[in-house]
Structure 1
Amino acid sequence: MAKRWGNQLKSWFANHTDLPSDVVLDLPRITMIGQLHIYIENHRGVLAFSNTELRLSLETGQLLIHGQHFVLKTILPEEILLEGTIKKVEFIESG
């Protein structure tokens, strides 16, 4: 109950201020350049990585990226730059 109320307050705050929603709501910021690069900020860690899949932990679940020839070009505590052929980006909500 308290968590839901807190999320509603954050949502209201994001809608009524000039602050970016990704900062206030603790959401990932994802930037894609075609199918070749994807830059993800504000993740909670790498759960799995192979040359065809990247799975990241998010505040509200997971982010799953499928493709081919994946290479992690940059990996920082809350930022990742993935290079390869990106076929699918999927959000998985925590249950």
Structure 2
Amino acid sequence: MKKMTSRMKNWIAHHMQLPADVLMDLPRITMIGQLHIYIENHQGVLRFSNQELRLLLKQGQLLIKGDGFVLKTILPEELLLEGRIDEVLFIDDKKNR
């Protein structure tokens, strides 16, 4: 049933020319060089340190690695991270099961 719902949302987004991130609960990530990353539509912070930020997403997790991390803005579904960003990884939920 989840596959059918996902396909339907994808079809609607494509044919109605709607942004996929809004319709499919995908994160929107805006990165400025290696200095800032702005993430919208996350489900919460799982881990934060000077070198790592791990966020829960609707479909998995987002892992950001680097150094000198500072959370400049944190709201229920968006945040702004500042520091040297070295790596951004998506971790699929299905691989962890």
Q: Is 1:18 aligned to 2:17, yes or no?
A: yes
Q: Residues 49-68 of structure 1: matches in 2 within 5 Å?
A: 49-68=48-67
**Residue segments in structure 1 that go unaligned for 5+ positions in a row:** none
Q: Which residue of 2 aligns with 1:41?
A: 40
**Residue segments in structure 2 that go unaligned for 5+ positions in a row:** none
Taking structure 1 as the reference length, the TM-score comes to 0.97
Q: Which residue of 1 aligns with 2:3?
A: 4
Runs of 4+ in 1 over 3 A off after TM superposition: none
- Aligned counterparts of 1:34 and 1:54: Cα–Cα separation in 2: 17
CA drift at 1:18:
2.4
CA RMSD of aligned residues (A): 0.5
- Aligned counterparts of 2:4 and 2:87: Cα–Cα separation in 1: 33
CA drift at 1:19:
1.5
- Aligned counterparts of 2:79 and 2:50: Cα–Cα separation in 1: 15
- Aligned counterparts of 1:16 and 1:24: Cα–Cα separation in 2: 12
* AA in 1 matched with 2:17: D
% identity of equivalent residues: 66
